[in-house]
Amino acid sequence: MCEDCGAASIDFNCGCSVKKVHKGGGGSLLLKDLDLLAENLKAIIKAVKIPVSLKTRIGFMKTDSVSGLQACREAAQLGCSWVTLHGRTAKQGFTGTADWNPIRELAHELPIPVIGNGDVALPSDAARMIADTGCAGVMIGRALMGDPWIIADTENFLLNGTPRPHRSRKEIVEIMLAHQSYLLAYSGIPKGVLEFRKHMVRYLRGFAQASSLRRVLVLLDDPSEVRRILIEFGEGRPPAGIE
């Protein structure tokens, strides 16, 4: 179905550590059953003509730091076009520090491209990961929340050494308002309102009024009121009702 809709490739995600995904037997839980993971990959590769890739973690828990690497090796043998490795175990979630050593190990071993993932929050982090591990590319995940510019900024930094430009409060708020509109159009109310909250708090990081704004904005159910406060904030005016 994805191929028929025009997908350029299929990425099989065995890295997700969310409980509701594990409940269904998916995500990084598949690292506990590499035979089943391989069966899934074989079926996907057989079903489509477009490239298939695997995204996973280094292992399932602290005592298992190899199952993810074994899964990537199997993926290469089965015909995957590339693999992406997050340098944490499933049980770690996003805590602690990502271990880039397994990424380096696979990058120097596998005949297919290895993409590195984990703790890339700045363009300089991406450059350091590539230099340290020899990976073919970098996947940026959580850092995109509240920073939709990071992909283009990272590409410009890697290709041209261009530093990140300063973005004004007004620019950031304009993107926030566009993001809010897209979410509301796609998810409606109240779901879109709730989804926007988690992005909103990320956008506001670093501003002097951030904590005061967050305390008020995350409690508002009226998107027009959220919009009013953000517009005033973007214009440099103290938003009414915010101390």
Q: Would you say 97 and 125 are in contact if contact means Cβ atoms under 8 Å apart?
A: no
Task: Classify 204 as helix, strand or coil.
Answer: coil
16 is catalytic: yes
Q: Would you say 69 and 97 are in contact if contact means Cβ atoms under 8 Å apart?
A: no
Active-site residue, from 2, 5, 16, 135: 16
**Start-to-end Cα distance in the chain:** 51
Spell 166-188 as b/e; 16+ CB within 10 A means b.
eeeeeebbeebeebbeebbeeee
DSSP secondary structure, 58-88, as one string: EESSTT-SSHHHHHHHHHHHHT-SEEEEEEE
- Catalytic positions, written as ranges: 16
